Each structure stands twice: as structure tokens, then as C-alpha cells.
Structure 1
Amino acid sequence: MNIEDMDKEEIGKRHIEKVYLESSHLVKRIQLVTTDHGKEIGIRLKQARDLLAGDILYMDEKSLIMIDVITDDLLIIKPRNMNEMGTIAHHLGNRHLPAQFEGDDMLVQYDYLVVDLLNELEIPFTREDRKVKQAFRHIGHSHG
């Protein structure tokens, strides 16, 4: 269950503790974590799925423990047209860099080589510390 699927009244009745994870840790199925109140808990996911920001790890009548995500150092790429989108997507794919999309923006984790590439291609971008809801997934395949 995710906190976004809960009724605001139900959330308001409970004391909320958070487990802050780096986005790269959202893909780990088994891990030992500590809440922002110092409680140590183990996570063991039965299904092979990634954790998301807002996922509820534990809930009873009085409290709930949920996942939150630490901000990532991101490049927010803002292609102005399909040509720029295709060009940068091709280059990032060749480098096996995972991207996420929010509206028309493409988000990738900061990499100075990508900054050089974006400047060279004259594609607009900004660098921001931002929370992502899900992990950046590396796409595994071979060129052989």
C-alpha cells in the first residue's frame, strides 16, 4: 500500500515515521533500515518489485512507517523538440544511462560527461537536487 492511496483522515489519525532511502536502495529486496525515530527494521519483499516513495512498510491503529526518498543530484534535460529528444535519448542509451520522465522533462543522475554532451548538442538542461519516486533502473543488455 502507498500513502497516496490512503484517505487523508486515516493518515491524520496516525503517528508517521519515515525511512529515508537513496533512490538506488529502492531496488533492494532485503535490507536493514532505521526510521527517523531511531527504530531499526528489516525489509524483506516477497515479490520482485521496487519500493516507491510513499510505500507503507508497517501500519497499525496508532502509527505507520513509510518510505521516503533522499534527493538525488539530477540533470533535468529539457529538449525543445522531437529531434533533440531523440538525439539525447540515443546518446544516453549508448551510455546505458537510465532516465525518468516528468512531463516533457528527462531526468538523469548527474554526470559531468552528460553535461559536456548537452552543452555540445546545445540542449537546454538544469542541475537540481530533486526527489524521484522510483529508482533509476539500469537496462541490462549486450551489444554482441
Structure 2
Amino acid sequence: MTALPPRATRVLNTAGDAPVDTVRLDYAARLLRRKRLVGQGGLEFLVDLEQVTSLDHGAGLCLEDGRIVAVAAADEPLVAITGQALARLAWHIGNRHTPCEIHSDRLVIQRDPVIERMLTGLGADLRPFMGPFRPEGGAYGHGRTMGHSHGEHAHG
């Protein structure tokens, strides 16, 4: 009989100083509830959380036996956005509910040809690159926005 892999049932804000392994996940894969994962060091485990959770880079998955597996943001295709009117460009990105990483001198989004054409048309300079994606969370809490509501109002 094959032993079941250990289960991770809790998420910690940090993996701490001595995680037993690290799992690298892109932005989409860091949104999960139940999934079998294998760390870079070969540790196989099952994530079994109570609800769908957005894992941040640097978080820890706590296994039932107390060991911690670190979560790291994996490299993925991104584009750095610069331009004269960065706040205006950020508004257009947000208006399309596109996750965005915000820096003082640039914005970063996942590669999307439609959004990239729009931004180029607005005068943005784009530089594609590979890197970890760590966008801003939603305005009403930590983590990613899980959809949104305008209450009684709809998009016009």
C-alpha cells in the first residue's frame, strides 16, 4: 500500500527561515484550493485548503506535521509598461480589470496582445520580459480580486 502524501491545510503569511522545500507557481497556479504539488526538492504533497486561496510569493504552506513549504512566484511572460502618462495608463489597465504590478517608474502585466495594442495606441512603451508576477491585490482586502460588483449599478 502506497502512503498518502502529506497534506497542506493552512497558509502562513511567510515560509519562515527553514522551509523543507519550495514550490514555484505562476500567478494563475497560485489561486488554488485542492491540488497535488511537487516541490523543487522533490517533496510531493497535497494542498487541501478550506476555500480557494490566492497564495502570495513568500507565503508558506503548512503541512499537517508542522513542516513548511515555501511558495515562490515562477517566471512567466510579462510586459513592462512605461510612458509619459503612467497614471492614465494604469487607469486604462484597471478599467479592464487586468491584474497589474505597480512600481514608481513602470507598470507590469501578463502578456496580452489585445491590452498591449491598446496601450501602444495610448502612447505606452512596452518591454516584454520573463519574470515573477506579483500584482496588487484588490482594494477591499489582501490577495487578488475575485470578481467585482457594482451593487445596483452595471457597466454602461
> What TM-score, normalized to structure 1?
0.70
Alpha-carbon deviations, 1:103-134, whole Å to 9, x = none? 33211111122222232222223111111246
In the TM superposition, what whole-angstrom CA distance separates every residue of 1:43-76 from its partner, at most 9, and x where no partner exists?
A: 1234664211121224779x64211121121111
Provide the rounded CA distance (Å) in 2 between the counterparts of 1:140 and 1:113: 22
Does residue 76 in structure 1 map to residue 80 in structure 2? yes
Structure 2, unaligned runs of 5 or more: 1-11, 136-142
Whether the 8 Å contact between 1:99 and 1:136 is mirrored in structure 2 is no
Whether the 8 Å contact between 2:26 and 2:74 is mirrored in structure 1 is yes
Cα RMSD for the two superposed structures:
2.9
1:107 lines up with 2:95 in the alignment: no
Structure 1 residues 119, 101: closer, same or farther in 2, change over 3 A?
same
Correspondence 1:1-144 to 2 at 5 A: 1=12, 2-3=14-15, 6=16, 11=17, 14=18, 16-46=20-50, 49-58=53-62, 64-80=68-84, 84-133=85-134, 137=145, 139-141=147-149, 142-143=154-155
Q: Give 3-state SS (helix, strand or coil) of 1:37's partner.
A: coil
- Taking a change above 3 Å as real, the CA distance of residues 90 and 138 of structure 1, as seen in their structure-2 partners, is farther
Separation in 1 of the partners of 2:95 and 2:155?
10
1:103 partner amino acid: S
Query: Which secondary structure state, in structure 2, belongs to the residue aligned with residue 25 of structure 1?
Result: coil
Cα pair distance change 1:56/1:101, threshold 3 Å: same
Distance 1:140 1:89 in 2: 18
Structure number with higher strand proportion: 2
- Structure 1, unpaired ranges of 5+: none
Amino acid at match of 2:93: L
Question: 1:24: how far off?
Answer: 0.8
